[in-house]
Copies of this chain bind each other. A is one copy, B any other.
């Protein structure tokens, strides 16, 4: 009896130290919007808790990698019907999360959900409905296309894949369009901005609302042959820079109705894609005029040799990252005479909700 009492006290101290209060979990769980057709699990409730169910009757242990930070995910328990179930210990941040499932020590995906390429593997994904999810919702508005192109790349001796977002009306129009080159993060690929980021729907909705002038977005793979799967050490920008600047941009300008001038060309990227954006925009100041780093570092005024070639510097991150660094860098750039804008995504971390919102903030500032 005494030991139980002490356990309760310790639990209360631990919970209060971790900023948790004993919340009642509301039983309004619904299948995640990213589930495979007909799949009931994983589920999410209105508070942002995620609940998992895995069928593996004879397993000894099942653990989901998603959970509150630093606690090794969520351990599932075997139910009387032999299924394994568990709920996160607290609400997850709004938006998209990668995860995987540990079954008897092996790493697998949840058969309930769609897969998304991240961490150099196809991972499970779950969506915690966000209060602002309307801006990337599939609506009854004119939709642009996402065009898979295979472009010749002599430097890597293959045909490489890119996805090209063309805005609604592109096919029938005779207009030429500015272009944003938009890069994914480490371990992701050229599918990320459409699949996880809904970049096409963000654009469709903003165009339908008259908030932006239509432009093209080009997304390609940024982890070229210099990167071994596993890390960013010894990263050299030249192989990707060659693919992007010498191969992809000429292909896009030759095959799509673009305004093929640096004044109408932007580059932005998330995380590692931001690092690449910074390196390439500084190496090639005559190629891009608009720069965006999304959770991907900052520019210092001294980094840029010719101020006249830069029309916009956009810096962003989640409030759970290093917002002060982003804000103070933008202030320093503004003080030095640059058109710099910072954006902080509230209550999000180094995840796709930060980057969806960042694209939504960046797009209206481009090509003005």
Contact = CB atoms under 8 A, between A and B. Distances in A.
B159 A149 contact: no
A256 B171 contact: yes
A109 to B, nearest CB: 6
A145 B82 CA distance: 47
A104 interface: yes
Given A114-B122, A143-B150, A148-B146, A105 B56 contact: yes
A108 interface: yes
B149 A148 contact: no
A309 B171 CA distance: 31
Nearest to A115: B115
A159 B147 contact: no
B122 A38 contact: no
B229 A121 contact: no
A337 to B, nearest CB: 40
Contacts of A150: 138, 143
A37 B140 CA distance: 37
A39 to B, nearest CB: 8
Nearest to A100: B111
Contact of A149 (B60, B82, B143, B151): B143
The secondary structure that dominates the A interface is loop
A109 B146 CA distance: 28
Interface in A27-68: 36-38, 54-61
A25 interface: no
B120 A37 contact: yes
A270 B150 CA distance: 26
Interface of A: 36-38, 54-61, 82, 103-109, 111, 114-115, 120-122, 138, 140, 143, 145-152, 158-159, 171-172, 229, 255-256
Given A56-B103, A138-B150, A146-B148, 19 more contacts: A37-B229, A38-B229, A55-B105, A55-B106, A56-B108, A59-B103, A103-B103, A103-B104, A103-B106, A103-B108, A107-B111, A108-B108, A108-B109, A108-B111, A111-B121, A115-B122, A138-B159, A145-B147, A171-B255
7 contacts: A36-B122, A38-B120, A59-B104, A103-B103, A103-B106, A148-B148, A171-B256
